[in-house]
Chains A and B, each alone.
Chain A
Amino acid sequence: MRRGSRLLAVHAAAVYVFLYAPIAILVLFSFNRTSQTAVWQGFTLEWYRRLFSNELILASVRNSLIVGAATTAIATVLGTLVALALGRHEFRGKGATRSLLYLPIIIPEIVVGAALVTFFGVVGLRLSLTTVVIAHVVFSVSYVAIVVKARLSGFDRSLEEAALDLGARPLQTFWRVTLPLILPGVVSGALLVFTVSIDDYVITSFVAGVGATTLPLQIYSMLKVGVTPEVNAVSTLLLAVTVVLILVAQRLHQPPSERAES
């Protein structure tokens, strides 16, 4: 028994090393003193300094933040509304709507990207940051809706009924009772969307236009000219932001009782 569990621990450790060693090395080499990618020659913050004086990268970070914030705001509202409709009401085509919800997540990104750029071409919408935001909202709404819907499934409707009984108007009930209860789901959905939006490469590469280079596009264009520690540095920062957001989202997504235990 004990031997078995030790083996299991070794196996688990090996899996984690396999998954995380490349990332750890990337982070480590962002502090490497030489620009060569394969040899360690001492600690430096030089690449981070250069990163913050590189206008192209800074502009792309700005673009990514704008897109991330706009996408999060729009997708969170729309996604929450979809989840409420699906979780609360019976209507014709509900089954189809529910299935369609998963489509943007399941369809290969490259197909979504190609479809969107064709669509923008047909309606004559010039490619810009706006088209990037529209594209991100398209695949983000589903994430929010799914997360919020999960939260709604354990929802005790008698609380709302009580509020209505006690004289609250429907809208009041929503703001004072429903929303606070589903808020952890909404927030974790929003954080998830922000993360996905900040990270997206494939769809963005299709729909980005003049002056709409986002951070992942920028990193990729730098990569092809040769991996520099600047790329490692900016990837490390991106990674840090993403990890923090995911941890926060996860924590919010746990029911309060589990959170107390963990």
Chain B
Amino acid sequence: MRPGRWTRVFALAAAASFAGCQRGEEPLPQGPGEKKLNVYIWSEYLPQEVIEEFQRRTGISVRYDLYDSNEPVLEKLQSGVADYDLVVPSDYMVRILVHLKLLRPLDKSRLKNLGNLDPRFLDKDFDPGNAYSLPYLWGTTGYGYDKPKAGREHESWAPLFDPANKGQILMLDDMRECFAVALKFLGHSLNSTDPAVLKQAADLLKKQKPLVKTYNSGDYENILASGDVSYAHGYNGQLAKLVAREPARFAYVLPKEGATIWMDSVCIPRRARNVDAIYAFLDYIQEPEVNARIVNGISYASANVPARRWIRPEILNDPAIYPSEAALARCEFLEDIGEATTILDEYWTEIKAQ
């Protein structure tokens, strides 16, 4: 749902491999498992009625626990003693979990509804060939703004760099997301690794710093709602909820220069045991009507194409949830930029310390 702090995650991952916690070489648990399913998922990400129908239909009892950031998923899977059968991490966390060998490869021969998924969301850099993960829900990172205070309509990243908005801007406290804004505004790919381009972006962010009231990744939509800032960089989900509540006052912009697209994927922990229940559930949530009920229930976009027939029009036609083809074509996933991460880290420290 929201990419967390890279440094912390890498520190955790490094510490874990240092401690020798990699259990990748163990054999996978075999056999069908019990008629039980333990799901670990973002809060407000799976409607109760969808779970209840699955239980009614299959007799499999579902237990689920909720998390609020990606890090607990890593922590639970690394402990080696958490009995989760399915987890739903964000793209960058999938990469880490794959790298640490904490996931079980998908047996695609057991998935009937794979064809329902939009190829645009398959075979991504964090999991080539979808060996370990399937798209669940996705969204974009744009910004929300206070229409009366802005006094005009916006469609570009420009107001976030406009000195006239000094003290009225909130940026996500997230290195890659902030650089993505700067890079896109300058007309580059948000996965650029060219040192000259990165320097340009860093200079722009340094110039922006005095205009920014706060860097916040937790409750930016509330800060925007309270009127403390007029522009809040953030993920579409939370901002779209605010807009839906007060459409006269707030709007979400997916800037014309392009933006980040994020995706949360369903993955099977390596030690998961209730294999039959897992595949039954994976197929179930990609049935078009069921998938549409998930989307209708929580107002995030899914990658399921035939589901769109049953998705409520006000969600399907909301550009904050389902952007137009043209807008989407300008968006990019955050990819692993390797060595360039170190360069960004240095710039980011300079910016934050400024």
Chain A interfacial positions (CB closer than 8 Å to B): 35-38, 55-56, 117-118, 120-121, 124-128, 131, 205-206, 208-213, 217-218, 220-227
Q: Which of A121, A208, A225 has a CB less than 8 Å from the CB of B44?
A: A225
B-side interface residues, number (CB < 8 Å) = 32
The closest CB in chain A to the CB of B242 belongs to A226
Hey, which chain A residues are within 8 Å of B69, CB to CB? 224
Given A37-B225, A206-B75, A226-B222, A221 and B83 contact (CB-CB distance below 8 Å): no
Question: 8 Å CB contacts to A: which residues of B71-100?
Answer: 72, 75-76, 78-84
Least CB distance, A39 to chain B, in whole angstroms: 9
Contacts of B84 in A (CB 8 A): 210
Known: A117-B79, A124-B81, A126-B81. A208 touches B218 (CB 8 A): no
Q: Given the known inter-chain contacts A37-B225, A226-B219, please indicate yes or no for A210 contacting B19, CB distance below 8 A.
A: no
A-side contacts of B82, CB under 8 Å: 126-127, 209-210
Q: How far is the CA of A225 from the CA of B239 in the complex (A)?
A: 11
Is there contact, CB below 8 Å, between B21 and A121? Answer: yes
Decide if B81 touches A125 in the complex (CB within 8 Å): yes
B105 nearest CB across to chain A (Å): 23
CB B131 to nearest CB in A, in angstroms, measures: 25
Is there an interface contact between B65 and A210, defined as CB atoms closer than 8 Å?
A: yes
Q: Is A221 within 8 A of B66, CB to CB?
A: yes
CA distance in complex: A213, B76 (Å):
13
Bound CA span A119–B162, Å: 53
Assembled-state Cα–Cα distance A121/B21 (Å): 9
Given A117-B81, A221-B67, A225-B68, 5 other A-B residues pairs in contact with their CB atoms under 8 A: A121-B81, A127-B82, A210-B84, A211-B65, A224-B43
The answer to the question of B38 belonging to the interface, with a C-beta cut-off of 8 Å to chain A, is yes
Please name all residues of chain B whose beta carbon is closer than 8 Å to the beta carbon of A117 when the two chains form the complex: 75, 79, 81
> In the bound complex, do residue A213 and residue B83 qualify as a contact, i.e. CB atoms below 8 Å apart?
no
User: How far apart are the CA atoms of A209 and B78 in the complex, in Å?
Assistant: 13
Contacts of B67 in A (CB 8 A): 221
Known contacts A121-B79, A224-B43; is A213 also within 8 Å of B241 by CB?
no
Residues of chain A within 8 A (CB-CB) of B68 are 220-221, 223-225
Q: When the two chains form their complex, are residues B38 and A226 in contact, meaning their CB atoms are under 8 A apart? A: no
Residues of B within 8 Å of A124, CB to CB, are 81
The 6 closest A-B pairs by CB, nearest first: A224-B68, A221-B43, A221-B66, A210-B38, A38-B226, A221-B68
**Complex contacts, B226 vs chain A, CB 8 Å:** 37-38
For this complex, 7 residue pairs linking A to B, each with C-beta atoms less than 8 Å apart, are: A118-B79, A120-B81, A127-B79, A217-B66, A223-B68, A224-B69, A226-B222
Interface pair A127/B66, CB less than 8 Å apart? no
Min CB distance, B250 to chain A, in Å?
A: 12
The answer to whether B146 has its CB under 8 Å from any CB of chain A is no
Digitize B132-173: 1 where CB-to-A-CB distance is under 8 Å, 0 elsewhere: 000000000000000000000000000000000000000000
A213 (CB) vs chain B CBs: closest residue: B65
**What's the Cα separation between A13 and B63 when bound, in Å?**
48
**Contact yes or no, B219 A211, CB < 8 A:** no
Taken together as a complex, chains A and B put the C-alpha atoms of A222 and B44 apart, in Å, by 8
Q: In angstroms, how far is the closest chain A Cβ from the Cβ of B78?
A: 8
* Interface contact A209-B43, CB-CB below 8 Å: no
Cβ-based interface call for B177 (8 A): no
Cβ–Cβ contact A205 & B219, under 8 A: no
Q: Which of A55, A127, A212, A227 contacts B222 (CB 8 A)?
A: A227
> How far, in Å, is B34 (CB) from chain A's closest CB?
12
Q: How far is A160 from B233 in the complex, measured between Cα atoms in Å? A: 70
Query: What chain A residues lie within 8 Å of B245 (beta carbons)?
Result: 35-36
Output the residue of B68, B226, B241 with the most chain A CB within 10 A. Answer: B68
A221 to B65, CA, bound (A): 10
Q: How far is the CA of A120 from the CA of B75 in the complex (A)?
A: 13
Q: Measured between alpha carbons, how far is A45 from B72 in the docked complex, in Å?
A: 34
Give the residue among B38, B43, B227 with the most A Cβ atoms within 10 A.
B43
Nearest residue, chain A, Cβ from B43: A221
- Given A221-B68, A226-B241, CB of A209 within 8 Å of CB of B21: no
User: Is B189 an interface residue when CB atoms closer than 8 A count as contact?
Assistant: no
* Contact A36 B75, CB 8 Å, known A118-B19, A210-B84, A226-B219: no
Separation of A58 and B83 alpha carbons in the complex (Å): 22
Contact between B219 and A227, CB atoms less than 8 A apart: yes
Q: Indicate if the CB atoms of A225 and B43 lie closer than 8 Å.
A: yes
Contacts of B241 in A (CB 8 A): 226
**Chain B residues with CB below 8 A from A121, complex form:** 21, 78-81
Q: A220 to B65, alpha carbons, bound, how many Å?
A: 12
Known contacts A36-B245, A121-B79, A205-B72: does B225 contact A213 (CB below 8 Å)? no
Q: Which residue of B lies closest to A56 (CB)?
A: B66
Which of A128, A208, A213, A221 has the most chain B CB atoms closer than 10 A to its own CB? A221
Residues of A within 8 A of B75 (CB): 117, 206
Chain A CB within 8 A of B238 CB: yes
Residues of B within 8 A of A208 (CB): 65
A224-B218 contact given A120-B79, A205-B72, CB 8 Å threshold: yes
A127, B219: Cβ atoms under 8 Å?
A: no
Q: Which of B257-284 contact A (CB under 8 A)?
A: none
